[in-house]
Amino acid sequence: MNLEKVFNYIDEHAEAFVQDLVRLVKQPSVSAKAEGITECAKLVEEMMQGVGLSTKILVSERGNPVVYGEVKSQTSGKTMLFYNHYDVQPPEPLEKWDYEPFSGKVVNGRIYGRGVTDNKGNLVSRLKAVQAFLETIGDVPVNIKFFVEGEEEIGSPNLAPIVEAYRHILVADAAIWEFGGTDRKGRPHLYLGLKGVLSVELRVEAAKKDVHSANAPLIPNPAWRLVWALNTLKGEDERILIKGFYDNIVPPSADEIELLKRIPFEEEELKEELGIEGFLKGFSGFEALKALLYHTTCTINGLFAGYTGKGSKTVLPHEAVAKLDFRLVPNQKSDEIFVKLIRHLKKHGFGDLEIIRHGSTEPTKTSISDPFVCLVAKTAERVYGKEAVIYPLSAGSGPMHLFRNLFGYPIVSAGCGHPESNTHAPNENLKIESFITGTKFIATLFNDFAHARL
């Protein structure tokens, strides 16, 4: 099919597409705070219907609603599913933003706002690719399904029951995952899998209330106890000290190693952007990339205790909290790691700590030899005019395993982000040019998938 009409429509309506994305960005949807979730789900459904999809809200006993949408092709029996999420990370620290985090401010060819790249921009680009086909051709080349959830940023803790309950409508031939984009040289990046993640919170309480720090000789300090507990989890050599933590890990295959060696890792650019002289343990080049994708981690995400405002306050806090995540690699299991964490803390005398499990996902990936991977890569290369960079695994995490393991279809993650998107950070932004090109890429992929022999 000649896509000239479709591309012309995208170009002619680019400004309107941007305004629709701005409208979605302006709607807060912070799952960690339960802020704006219901309103955003309704808006996503409204936008789907406006494009021409039939919709359904999927719910279970707990958790945020999932927005499902589909449009059937008149000419093809093939089905492509898109996974996205409408929830976003908290915008803090607010003082670091140049513009209000939910303003959708457009400045110098970029849209600024929490969630504009992760993941609302990718979602809207896909919806607009559908719209372009329906408005110009009157049909889509393949059956298209959208599964848009609202808990990805908190580990999708309630998603599994929904996927299981609605598995009959989630059947597809292949799927495109939520994220991706280009590097600094404009090369499209594709990802074939995700690490798993286990998010936990450790809490320590002592007295019923904060007291004057002059009482320190008599009153236990929960902040110190929390620090001592954290100190047992990882050594200065970065090795995690939980017994059995590294059991079951499957190292990258020979094919994956060869693929890693071909990835143009933008090491110096990343260091300059972050203002650091080097990576942990002196990693560089291939070894740095291998560590990023295949090393498991234990990360302190936040520490909270006592007074943290300006100046000093001589206080002894009554509680202390630490938030952590563990990134997991094939074939680690989050349930097993959680049990090992509990055993570890008890063994080291910290059985009194309250351990809260916030969410988890499992690692999973699609084979690099799958024909769908080749198709997506060739499509990306035609649209972007440069060779695609294929990552066998991403350093990030998400509920991809629920779809990959249950349905078995290949999944590739691709999107319209860019290296300076500031995802999860202040001044998150999306280049309008990347957004429009990403829309054309998805439109082209519809067409290529329809005609491919997989």
- Per-residue confidence (pLDDT) for residue 1, from 0 to 100: 77
The helix-helix angle for 122-136 and 4-12 (nearest 10°) equals 120
Cβ of 280: how many Cβ atoms within 10 Å? 11
For the chain, the three-class secondary structure string (H helix, E strand, C coil) is CCCHHHHHHHHHCHHHHHHHHHHHHHCCCEHHHCECHHHHHHHHHHHHHHHCCEEEEECCCCCCCEEEEEECCCCCCCEEEEEEECCECCCCCHHHCCCCCCCCEEECCEEECCCHHHHHHHHHHHHHHHHHHHHHCCCCCCEEEEEEECCHHHCCCCHHHHHHHCHHHCCCCEEEECCCEECCCCCEEEECEEEEEEEEEEEEECCCCCEEHHHCCCCCCHHHHHHHHHHCCECCCCCECCCCCCCCCCCCCHHHHHHHHCCCCCHHHHHHHHCCCCCHHHCCHHHHHHHHHHCCEEEEEEEEECCCCCCCCCEECCEEEEEEEEEECCCCCHHHHHHHHHHHHHHCCCCCCEEEEEEEECCEECCCCCHHHHHHHHHHHHHHCCCCEEECCEEEECCHHHHHHHHCCCEEECCCECCCCCCCCCCCEEEHHHHHHHHHHHHHHHHHHHHCCC
Residue 71's beta-bridge partner residues?
A: 144
- Show me where the domains of the chain are located: 4-192+366-451, 196-249+296-361
Bridge partner residues of 84 (DSSP): 148
The CA distances from residue 409 to 181, 196, 365, in Å, are: 22, 19, 11
C-alpha to C-alpha distance for 430 and 11, rounded to whole angstroms: 17
| CATH 3.90.550.10 is held by the domain 196-249+296-361 | no
Cβ proximity of 55 and 48 under 8 Å:
yes
Residue whose token pair is 């290296």: 419
* R_g (Cα) of the chain, nearest Å: 23
Whether the model clears a pTM of 0.85, i.e. scores above it, the answer is: yes
**Cβ neighbourhood burial of 335 (10 Å; 0-12, 13-18, 19+):** exposed
| Token reading at 9 | 């429509």
Instruction: Say what the pLDDT of residue 453 is.
Output: 86
Query: What local confidence, expressed as pLDDT, does residue 454 receive?
Result: 78
Per-residue confidence of the chain (454 residues) as pLDDT tens digits? 789 999 999 999 999 999 999 999 999 999 999 999 999 999 999 999 999 999 999 998 899 999 999 999 999 999 999 999 999 999 999 999 999 999 999 999 999 999 999 999 999 999 999 999 999 999 999 999 999 999 999 989 999 999 999 999 999 999 999 999 999 999 999 999 999 999 999 999 999 999 999 999 999 999 999 999 999 999 999 999 999 999 999 999 999 999 999 999 889 988 998 899 999 999 999 999 999 999 999 999 999 999 999 999 999 999 999 999 999 999 999 999 999 999 999 999 999 999 999 889 999 999 999 999 999 999 999 999 999 999 999 999 999 999 999 999 999 999 999 989 999 999 999 999 999 999 999 999 999 999 998 7
What's the topology of domain 4-192+366-451? Aminopeptidase (3.40.630)
Length of the chain: 454
pLDDT of residue 155: 86
Least Cα distance to 190 among 369, 402, 429, 394 occurs for 394
Angstrom distance (rounded) from CA 201 to CA 355:
6
Note whether 194 and 330 are within 8 A (CB): no
